[in-house]
Amino acid sequence: MRQSKPTPSAVEGLDVQAPDPRRWATLAVVVSAQLLIVLDSSVVTIALPSAQTELGMSDSAKQWVVAAYTLTFGGFLLVGGRLADVHGRKKIFLLGLLGFAVTSALGGLAVGPAMLPLARAAQGVFAALLAPAGLALLTTAFSDARERARAFGIFGAAVGSGMAVGMVLGGVLTELGSWRWCLLVNVPLVLAVLVPAVRFLAESQLDAVVKYDLPGAITGTLGVGTLIYGLSEAETVGWTHPSTVASGLAGLALLIAFVVIERRSERPMMPLRVVVDRVRGAGYAIVFLAGAALLAFYLFLTYYLQLVREYSPLLTGLAFLPSAAGVFVGSLAAGRILGRSGPRAVLTTGLLMGAAGMAYLGVLDPASGFWSVLFPALLVSGLGIGAALTTVTKITLDGVPSGDAGVAGALTNAMRQIGGAVGVSALNVVALSVTAAKGDSGDDVLTDGYVAAFVVGAGLLALAAVIAVVMTGSRRARG
């Protein structure tokens, strides 16, 4: 089967290249694959209570169904991005797809409490290959600034609404079938993506010379993984527990060693030129803050709906539809605007809308109406989040040499993962502190804790908006 080859400028790492005739097919394949990863996270969240009951899992084992995936996904992202750059984005993308399907099947067929977390850990490794390779393929396929903006708008619309759609899908599969289908459904979905991926994706890579920065790979992977582990420990045993402190300090030490190694390496796994650009660096900071706010937002709203309002899994999923619709529309609108203007205004407006929608949940109580409180909050925050995530993803990848596209995509995903882990742990502490201070139990107290978490999450998005105003206006997004 014939494959399109990158133009010489793409191989040499220049930004100018002839339009790829398969670029829109590439977009469809990459969006579908990335959607799988996003859907999987929220689908499994809905399925967890049923899986815990059937497999006889303890609360700690249940936590590792989520934590194991987050740990390996975040830890291996930089390695996955560099493997894609060196060995070829298409090869690594296809390997990630196949591995994701196999490990999803193993999770869906789990027969004991240990098998499901182990399968999820393996899923995270293959997702760490798939995600940065897909973003790199998308970045190198579109050379025209306006077309790239439209492409990222479509990408953001599909992926940004994926978490909310996953909540709906998880509720349907769990309530009408079994929790196992929340994982097994990935197998036919991967097969549907695999055929067009083989046919339409064009191979691209940094060069033909394979030389690994082994010390950088080891310190980077262990550093991110250890840091995420420490944050997951903080959620369960507290921020001052010895295991939390030790893991956090070890993770930071490893990441400092990673930066030192990368500065001295002839062929670094993560070239520091990727992060020193001021606008791109600000973009990574915004991704971190947005990830911290959004993952906690979805998690605590799920708790509120199921524990306080006693919604079923299906009804809980359906309640997130306004958010999914808002993200979809906001992302597409941002993609159109970015083709004609710089990112600062779109990014700032989106973040402020997201903050406003989340802050509106500060009026939440156990009897709040869906249409008067939840619907407008979810819709407005969704519109803003869609516009913001589309824009920030674009600015973290704009201007990156083609040879570093995999690493740049990996960093975007890594910052989102680490931010999510920080957000869930930190805002969980906020919610628990408010609940404990009330010295009582019941729906009112639980709701007060969730409200406090929503307000702090809104503050994180407002801080991200300040960074956008100060740091992203000195240059226009480039194609």
The pLDDT of residue 212: 65
Least confident of 56-65, 202-211, 306-315: 202-211
Matching fold, domains 21-204 and 270-478: yes
What is the rounded CA–CA span in Å between residue 28 and residue 141?
12
What is the rounded CA–CA span in Å between residue 18 and residue 236?
52
Q: What is the pLDDT of residues 166-216, one digit of tens each?
A: 777 877 887 778 889 889 999 999 999 999 999 999 887 655 455 667 788
The pLDDT of residue 215: 84
What is the rounded CA–CA span in Å between residue 230 and residue 246?
8
Would residue 355 be called left, alpha or beta, if left means φ above 0 and alpha means ψ between -120 and 50 degrees?
A: alpha
What is the rounded CA–CA span in Å between residue 262 and residue 319?
46
The pLDDT of residue 205: 60
Q: What share of the chain is helix, strand, coil (3-state, %, to 5)?
A: 80, 0, 20
The contacts of residue 36 (CB under 8 Å, 6+ apart) are 100, 186, 189, 190, 193
The DSSP annotation for 328-350 comes to HHHHHHHHHHHTTS-HHHHHHHH
What is the rounded CA–CA span in Å between residue 353 and residue 383?
7
Q: What is the pLDDT of residues 323-364, one digit of tens each?
A: 989 998 998 899 888 877 778 999 999 999 999 999 999 999
What is the rounded CA–CA span in Å between residue 110 and residue 55?
8
Tokens of 215: 């010390």
The pLDDT of residue 206: 58
Backbone angles phi, psi at 7, to 5 degrees: -70, 160
Nearest to 468 by CA among 281, 338, 280, 282: 282
What is the rounded CA–CA span in Å between residue 308 and residue 384?
27
CATH of 270-478, one of 2.20.25.90, 3.30.450.20, 1.20.1250.20, 3.20.20.70: 1.20.1250.20
The 10 Å Cβ neighbour count of residue 437 is 12
Tokens of 373: 């409180």
Is residue 15 predicted with pLDDT exceeding 50?
Answer: no
Query: What's the sign of the alpha-carbon dihedral 390, 395, 398, 401?
Result: negative
Tokens 């934590």 correspond to 67
Supply the pTM of this predicted model.
0.80
- Provide the terminal-to-terminal Cα distance of the chain, rounded to the nearest Å: 30
In terms of pLDDT, which residue wins out, 52 or 474?
A: 52
Domain ranges of the chain: 21-204, 214-268, 270-478
Q: What is the mean pLDDT of residues 410-419?
A: 82
Is residue 84 predicted with pLDDT exceeding 70?
Answer: yes
CATH of 21-204, one of 3.40.50.620, 1.20.1250.20, 3.20.20.70, 1.10.760.10: 1.20.1250.20
For the chain, what's the residue count? 479
Mean pLDDT (the chain) is 83
Residue 459: burial class (beta carbons within 10 Å; 0-12, 13-18, 19+)? middle
